[in-house]
């Protein structure tokens, strides 16, 4: 299972990487929105975890792009410090599958990833 | 005593007094700037701006970016504006009747459609042809306005009429903003100091030779060519020392048109940008201040020293000359519109210090300098000139100028330190040494030309052709 | 005029000028030299930081995923890191990185970062800074202690919530709210200085997202003599949908400060009941333009039932001479399908400018938001 993580804070990126690898996934990292979009094309991941506030392209743009241009329904988890109601609604409106606000627990993230992959895997 | 002596004596006393006051001002500005910048850095170093980005109580901001014949870069620049970290935001691009494909490119890239939009004419403008929004919900913050050509001030006024948020941020569309720029600009409006913040100015830095990728600043470099490099020095001096000191006294008269935030209702109450001047950015600030002074409401124009906005500087003497010529005309026009404030105690610091300073030391300086040189030549001709005194005086003035520049570089190194190599700093120092010979006379001459042109009633904007940034794909 | 007989420049002895020039040049060279040395030192420090980055990241990651077991009570520290720990510069660097990480994590991960802080006795670093004479160092230190959940220090911090220096005061207030959540807001009962909008946003960010039992005192804050306290209470009531405070909030519509009145409108929008629309519109006439626009916007967000009560009033306001008010009114009417939209269509001047454009825009926005929802 390939997971793409897009996040501009290094510590976060490495921590999520570590946690998901422990769960046995293949993890790919992108430190800005542009690289994330490139990697989505290149790898066609099974799940995407993305921050919203990133350089070049926001996480919401990534959701919009994936839902518009990808036949395959890739589950997307938004992981952001932005907890405003309108942003959360917008994210779900664009087609995000889950929304986690920071501060978050890496263990919880791991559970949500597992659940999403099992739901769509079926 | 002969009449020549009287004239000559008067002349030299005048110039001497003028120079002494000017030197005193420079010293004062330098010292005042240190305190203000130190306070700013101390107060904001531990600020977590993200808290504002993730708050639902952040004040709404409308970015207004007029575009005229910018087809080459507009799509990329809009994308970079849309990725700015600020939630309660709308990005309004005003197509000022471009003759190129600016509008078509935007429509195609962002899937724009004409929407029913009632444009309220709170400030009178040229006709609006249409308002466009994106069909793609990802770009819901974007509004593109198409209007008949009417110049920058008119385009900004259309933006003001359309803006739906309480604060407007006016920028040049080809500027590159840092992603946290608006978070930093919003902060002064939210602070409680017993006065109303009506406007907030930002620093403009020179982006020539910097590495730009997809409309975003990737790496800061010192410009390779002399002309942009000397402007880098000039901007550091003006923004880090001059504006900082004036903002501390609350005497700031100019917010650069390339990046400034304003309270919309006050802008509208003042009638928006004035399209009768080529210095619309300065004129608006002066008018807003005058408005507040006349209502006797406590207010402030603040200023953010962080390098948040990067722009391309002219690289040829020809275009630079036009720009400076325009600046001079803008200043003269602005000061003329508001001459009632000159030494008028009713306008307090604004009338008693800011206005006279601008008149005597920004506007008249090139003229005095020019006249001084002319007088010098004359007295040499008549044999009045004591050459050894002359050279000693010249040496003193020039070294003082160096020291002021070097001090500005020092401030830059100690605060934001954008140029990290010792080599770059040495190049800046060398630039400071060359400036009085290769750059300063040209600036003075352009200012004189501005005066002459204004006397001849020339009102065009001095078109600025752009060179384009260094665009490199990441390796 | 005898003074004119002597040329002024003759007073200036050439020698003095030359000396002054050399003094200036001397200063100039020392400044340049200083800059170069400074840059060198800075570069060295940057390089050092780069070297530290990897081990520090590793340590933080290890801390985040640390699991206590009988034979592993402490987070393991590599010898390299413990050697560097003797240097205060390294400790500060580590602490800064830990704080960045702490802001993003919750649960076990966050607790483990605090455990690392305690294990390394980093509070000693923070506490020396708390007694500094410089306000910015103290303010930053309070922020660090709060970020690392150092509740033990609350006695020292609480006293600073009314400190004359605004930065110390702000950080102390945020820290107390961070430690105690809603109960930490008690200082609002006594605070004398205004709490800036900026600080209100900071405080809201420190509060828990869901309402516990701790939120008490709202009624008295809504009547505070400090308008910024009222404004803050209104924001809280709105975020947590405190419907039971409806009448107290509506009371703020008569507050003397216009900013409070507007804030009350925004709050009512989310805690409204069937009486709210009448209360808001009842004060419409005696208020200024800003209130009126905000009132119409509130009405638009309150839902069609509330707007429907006011159709008569709205039809009248369509004729208001201010175009902003016309548009805001049309927007409210457009939310009421049936009677509202009908009254827009039937409006006598619906075909004339500017009403034609206003009505078209209001309807267009309504169908768009309808589609999105």
* Tens digits of residue pLDDT in B62-100: 999 999 999 999 999 999 999 999 999 999 999 999 999
pLDDT band at C11; cut points 50, 70, 90: low
Chain-wide mean pLDDT for chain B?
91
Task: Supply the angle between the helices B102-110 and B74-82 in degrees, to the nearest 10.
Answer: 50
pLDDT band at B1; cut points 50, 70, 90: low
- Mean pLDDT for A63-70 is 92
What pLDDT is attached to residue B386?
77
What pLDDT is attached to residue B475?
37
B328 backbone φψ class: left, alpha, beta (φ>0; ψ -120 to 50): alpha
Q: What is the CATH number of domain C122-205?
A: 1.25.10
Q: Which residues of A touch C (CB under 8 A)?
A: 9-12, 14-15, 18-19, 22, 81, 83, 93, 101-108
The DSSP line for B80-110 is HHHTSS-SSEEEEEEEE--SSSHHHHHHHHH
Chain B CB within 8 Å of residue A64 CB:
yes
- Mean pLDDT for C179-202 is 92
A92/chain B closest Cα distance in angstroms: 12
Whether the CB-CB separation of C203 and C232 falls below 8 Å is answered with: yes
pLDDT at B471 over 50: no
The DSSP line for C99-146 is HHHHHHB-HHHHHHHHHHHHHTTTHHHHHHHHT-S-HHHHHHHHHHHH
The DSSP line for B295-331 is HT--EEEEEEEEEEEEEPPP-SHHHHHHHHHHHHHHH
Distance CA B426, CA C36 (A): 8
pLDDT at A39 over 50: yes
CB contact under 8 A, C104 and A11: yes
Contacting residues for A4 by C-beta, under 8 A, at least 6 apart: A28, A29, A30, A36, A39, A40, A43, A45, A47, A48, A49, A50
Strands of the sheet containing A76-80, edge to edge, are A26-30, A2-6, A47-50, A76-80, A98-101
What letter does residue C13 receive in the DSSP assignment?
-
B325 vs B236, B368, C191, CA distance in Å?
A: 21, 17, 54
Which chain A residue lies closest to B76 (C-alpha atoms)? A56
CB contact under 8 A, A60 and B138: yes
Torsions phi, psi of B108, nearest 5? -70, -45
What pLDDT is attached to residue B429?
96
Q: Taking Cα atoms as reference points, which of C222, C241, C245 lies closest to residue C232?
A: C222
Task: Give tens-digit pLDDT for C119-176.
Answer: 999 988 888 888 899 999 999 999 999 999 999 999 999 989 889 999 999 999 999 9
CB contact under 8 A, C201 and B395: no
Share of chain C above pLDDT 90, in %: 73
Distance CA C137, CA C129 (A): 6
pLDDT at B460 over 70: no
pLDDT at B459 over 70: no
pLDDT band at B383; cut points 50, 70, 90: confident
Taking contacts as CB-CB distances below 8 angstroms, the residues of chain C near B269 are: none
B417 backbone φψ class: left, alpha, beta (φ>0; ψ -120 to 50): left
Relative to beta strand A2-6, strand A47-50 is: parallel
Token pair 């003497």 is found at B317
What pLDDT is attached to residue B458?
54
B192 vs B197, C172, C197, CA distance in Å?
A: 9, 17, 7
- Mean pLDDT for A9-15 is 91
Contacting residues for B349 by C-beta, under 8 A, at least 6 apart: B249, B250, B251
C96/chain A closest Cα distance in angstroms: 12
Task: Give tens-digit pLDDT for B238-253.
Answer: 999 999 999 999 999 9
Among C105, C112, C240, the strongest candidate for a mutation testing the A interface, having the largest count of A CBs within 10 A, is C105
Token pair 């830059």 is found at B412
pLDDT band at C2; cut points 50, 70, 90: very low
Out of B51, B396, B422, closest to residue C202 by CB: B51
Q: What is the 3-state secondary structure (H, E, C) of B228-267?
A: HHHHHHHHHHHHHHHHHHHHHCCCCCCCCCCEEEEEHHHH
* Greatest distance between any 2 Cα atoms in chain C: 100
Distance CA B295, CA B270 (A): 12
pLDDT at B170 over 90: yes
Establish whether the linkage from the previous residue to B423 is cis, with ω within 30° of 0: no
pLDDT at C20 over 80: yes
Chain B CB within 8 Å of residue C39 CB:
yes
Whether the CB-CB separation of B246 and B252 falls below 8 Å is answered with: yes
Out of C101, C209, C372, closest to residue A11 by CB: C101
Q: Which two tokens stand for residue B156?
A: 């900004």
Please state the domain extents for chain A. Answer: 2-121
Q: Taking Cα atoms as reference points, which of C125, C189, C124, C177 lies closest to residue C151?
A: C177
Share of chain A above pLDDT 70, in %: 98
Distance CA C51, CA C60 (A): 15
Whether the CB-CB separation of B29 and B242 falls below 8 Å is answered with: yes
Q: How many Cβ atoms are within 10 Å of B284's Cβ, its own excluded?
A: 27
Share of chain B above pLDDT 70, in %: 96
Whether the CB-CB separation of C272 and C242 falls below 8 Å is answered with: no
Whether the CB-CB separation of B308 and B223 falls below 8 Å is answered with: no
pLDDT band at C337; cut points 50, 70, 90: confident
**CATH, domain A2-121, list 3.30.70.990, 3.40.50.620, 1.10.10.10, 3.40.50.2300:** 3.40.50.2300
Distance CA B247, CA B31 (A): 13
What pLDDT is attached to residue B468?
39
What pLDDT is attached to residue C9?
55
Which chain A residue lies closest to B56 (C-alpha atoms)? A84
Among A14, A27, A84, A103, the strongest candidate for a mutation testing the C interface, having the largest count of C CBs within 10 A, is A103
Q: Taking Cα atoms as reference points, which of B465, B170, B460, B153 lies closest to residue B326?
A: B460
Chain B CB within 8 Å of residue A84 CB:
yes
- Mean pLDDT for B18-46 is 93
Distance CA B409, CA B30 (A): 12
Distance CA B88, CA B356 (A): 40
- Mean pLDDT for B190-195 is 89
pLDDT at B430 over 50: yes
Out of B8, B13, B55, closest to residue C201 by CB: B55
Name which of A83-87, B286-290, C88-92, C212-216 the model is least confident about. C212-216
Task: Give tens-digit pLDDT for B122-140.
Answer: 999 999 999 999 999 999 9
What pLDDT is attached to residue C209?
84
What letter does residue B58 receive in the DSSP assignment?
P
């Amino acid at each position: 299972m390939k997971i793409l993580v897009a996040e501009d804070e290094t510590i976060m990126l490495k921590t999520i990487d570590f946690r998901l690898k422990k769960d046995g996934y293949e993890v790919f990292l992108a430190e800005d929105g542009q690289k994330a979009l490139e990697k989505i094309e290149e790898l066609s991941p099974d799940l995407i975890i993305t921050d919203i506030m990133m350089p070049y392209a926001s996480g919401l743009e990534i959701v919009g792009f994936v839902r518009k241009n990808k036949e395959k329904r890739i589950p997307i988890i938004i992981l952001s410090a932005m907890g405003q109601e309108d942003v959360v609604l917008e994210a779900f409106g664009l087609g995000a599958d889950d929304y986690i606000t920071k501060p978050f627990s890496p263990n919880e993230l791991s559970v949500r990833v597992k659940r999403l992959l099992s739901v769509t895997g079926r | 005593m002969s009449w020549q002596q009287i004239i000559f004596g008067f002349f030299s006393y005048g110039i001497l007094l003028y120079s002494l006051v000017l030197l005193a001002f420079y010293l004062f500005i330098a010292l005042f700037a240190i305190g203000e910048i130190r306070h700013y850095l101390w107060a904001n170093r531990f600020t977590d701006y993200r808290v504002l980005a993730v708050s639902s109580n952040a004040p709404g901001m409308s970015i207004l970016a007029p575009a005229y014949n910018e087809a080459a870069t507009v799509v990329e620049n809009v994308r970079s504006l849309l990725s700015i970290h600020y939630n309660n935001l709308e990005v309004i691009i005003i197509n000022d009747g471009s003759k190129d494909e600016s509008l078509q490119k935007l429509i195609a890239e962002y899937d724009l459609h004409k929407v029913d939009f009632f444009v309220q004419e709170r400030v009178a403008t040229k006709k609006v042809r249409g308002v466009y929004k994106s069909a793609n919900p990802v770009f819901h913050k974007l509004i593109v306005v198409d209007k008949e050509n009417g110049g920058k001030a008119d385009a900004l006024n259309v933006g003001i009429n359309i803006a739906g948020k309480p604060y407007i941020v006016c920028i040049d569309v080809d500027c590159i903003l840092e992603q946290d720029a608006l978070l930093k600009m919003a902060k002064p409006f939210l602070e409680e100091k017993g006065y109303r913040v009506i406007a907030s100015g930002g620093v403009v830095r020179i982006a020539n030779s910097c590495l730009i990728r997809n409309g975003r600043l990737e790496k800061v470099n010192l410009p390779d060519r002399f002309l942009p490099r000397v402007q880098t020095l000039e901007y550091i001096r003006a923004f880090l020392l001059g504006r900082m000191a004036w903002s501390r006294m609350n005497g700031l008269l100019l917010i650069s048109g390339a990046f400034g935030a304003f309270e919309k209702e006050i802008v509208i109450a003042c009638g928006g940008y004035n399209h009768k001047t080529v210095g619309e950015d300065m004129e608006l600030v002066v008018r807003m201040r005058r408005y507040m002074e006349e209502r006797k409401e406590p207010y402030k124009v603040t200023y953010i020293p962080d390098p948040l906005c990067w722009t391309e500087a002219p690289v040829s003497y020809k275009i630079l000359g036009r720009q400076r010529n325009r600046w001079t005309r803008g200043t003269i026009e602005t000061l003329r519109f508001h001459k009632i404030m000159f030494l008028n105690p009713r306008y307090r610091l604004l009338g008693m210090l800011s206005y006279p300073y601008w008149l005597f030391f920004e506007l008249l300086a090139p003229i005095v300098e020019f006249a001084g040189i002319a007088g010098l030549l004359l007295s040499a001709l008549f044999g009045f000139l004591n050459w050894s005194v002359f050279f000693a005086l010249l040496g003193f003035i020039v070294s003082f100028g160096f020291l002021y520049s070097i001090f500005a570089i020092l401030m830059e190194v100690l605060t934001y330190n954008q140029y990290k190599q010792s080599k770059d700093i040495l190049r800046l120092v060398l630039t400071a040494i060359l400036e009085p010979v290769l750059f300063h006379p040209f600036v003075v001459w352009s200012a004189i030309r501005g005066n002459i042109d204004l006397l001849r009633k020339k009102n065009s904007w001095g078109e600025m052709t752009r060179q384009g940034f260094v665009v490199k794909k990441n390796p | 005029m005898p003074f004119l007989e002597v040329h002024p420049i003759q007073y200036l002895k050439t020698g003095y000028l030359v000396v002054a020039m050399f003094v200036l040049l001397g200063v100039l060279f020392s400044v340049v030299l200083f800059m170069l040395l400074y840059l060198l030192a800075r570069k060295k420090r940057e390089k050092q930081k780069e070297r530290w980055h990897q081990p520090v990241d590793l340590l933080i990651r290890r801390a985040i995923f640390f699991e206590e077991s009988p034979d592993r009570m402490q987070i393991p520290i590599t010898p390299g890191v413990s050697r560097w720990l003797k240097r205060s510069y390294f400790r500060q660097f580590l602490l800064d990185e830990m704080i960045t990480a702490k802001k993003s994590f919750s649960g076990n991960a966050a607790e483990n970062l605090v455990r690392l802080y305690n294990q390394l006795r980093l509070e000693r670093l923070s506490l020396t800074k708390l007694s500094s004479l410089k306000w910015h160092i103290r303010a930053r230190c309070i922020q660090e202690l709060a970020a690392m959940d150092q509740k033990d220090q609350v006695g020292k911090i609480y006293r600073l919530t009314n400190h004359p220096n605004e930065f110390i005061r702000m950080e102390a207030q945020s820290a107390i709210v961070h430690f105690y959540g809603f109960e930490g807001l008690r200082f609002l009962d006594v605070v004398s200085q205004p709490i800036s909008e900026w600080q209100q946003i900071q405080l809201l960010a420190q509060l828990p997202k869901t309402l516990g039992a701790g939120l008490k005192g709202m009624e008295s804050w809504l009547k505070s003599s400090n308008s910024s306290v009222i404004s803050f209470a209104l924001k809280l009531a709105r975020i947590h949908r405190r419907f039971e405070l409806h009448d107290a909030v509506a009371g703020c519509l008569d507050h003397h400060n216009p900013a409070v009145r507007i804030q009350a409108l925004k709050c009512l929008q989310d805690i409204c009941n069937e009486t709210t629309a009448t209360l808001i519109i009842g004060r419409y006439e005696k208020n200024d333009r800003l209130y009126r626009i905000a009132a119409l916007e509130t009405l638009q967000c309150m839902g069609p039932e509330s707007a429907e009560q006011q159709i008569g009033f709205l039809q009248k306001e369509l004729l208001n001479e201010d175009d902003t008010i016309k548009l805001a009114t049309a927007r409210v009417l457009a939310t009421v399908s049936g009677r509202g939209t009908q009254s827009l269509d039937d409006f006598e001047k619906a075909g004339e400018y500017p009403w034609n454009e206003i009505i078209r825009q209001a309807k267009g926005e309504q169908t768009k938001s309808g589609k999105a929802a």
